[in-house]
Structure 1
Amino acid sequence: MKGNFDSLVNSPKPVLVDFYADWCGPCKALAPILKEVKATLGDTIKIIKIDVDKHQPLANKFQVRGVPTLLLFKNGKQLWRQSGVLPKDHILQIVEQHQ
């Protein structure tokens, strides 16, 4: 996964990474919000979901201690991160600041 992850986030368009877990209630609440974000932004953004239980080394690399945690990358650089469920408008605003 690691090499694949690096190639995914090394993109000229923003890549929003959602670190989540299947057992996490707030993660389930965030999923439809991210679908709306993708529907609004279309091909201007990539959204990737990473299950922290299946990809622990990757979660550890980014020091993900709580889920959900969102990270925004562009050209392989981490530009922003925040834990917890965020409203769609807030996520859209963050992405637009980094386009």
Structure 2
Amino acid sequence: MVREYDRRRKLIVGGLNDIGLDCFNPKGAFYAFPSIKSTGLTSDEFAERLLQEQNVVTIPGDIFGDTGAGFLRCAYAASREDIKEAIDRIGIFVDGL
């Protein structure tokens, strides 16, 4: 399972970076924390619109305090297929902004 979660972590971090959302490599938990500052949307706006337009659930980073503003929490405790689908949908959303 450790190897599988490492694959999922690499998939989501690489995918988010490829679509222009800066994302560092998390060292713990099962969450990526990409910056959405380049989109001009708040964390709440981004998460809400992403859910409405692409049916992708993320958590606005600012629920973790002021330092989380401009970020999202994206879980990678899902199958690689689901992660790929989510990245594709997030990419479509970001391209449409």
Give the TM-score, by structure 1 length: 0.36
Structure in which a larger fraction of residues adopt strand: 1
- Structure with more helix by fraction: 2
Task: Identify the structure with bigger relative contact order (alpha carbons < 8 Å, sequence gap 6+).
Answer: 1
For normalisation by structure 2, the TM-score amounts to 0.36
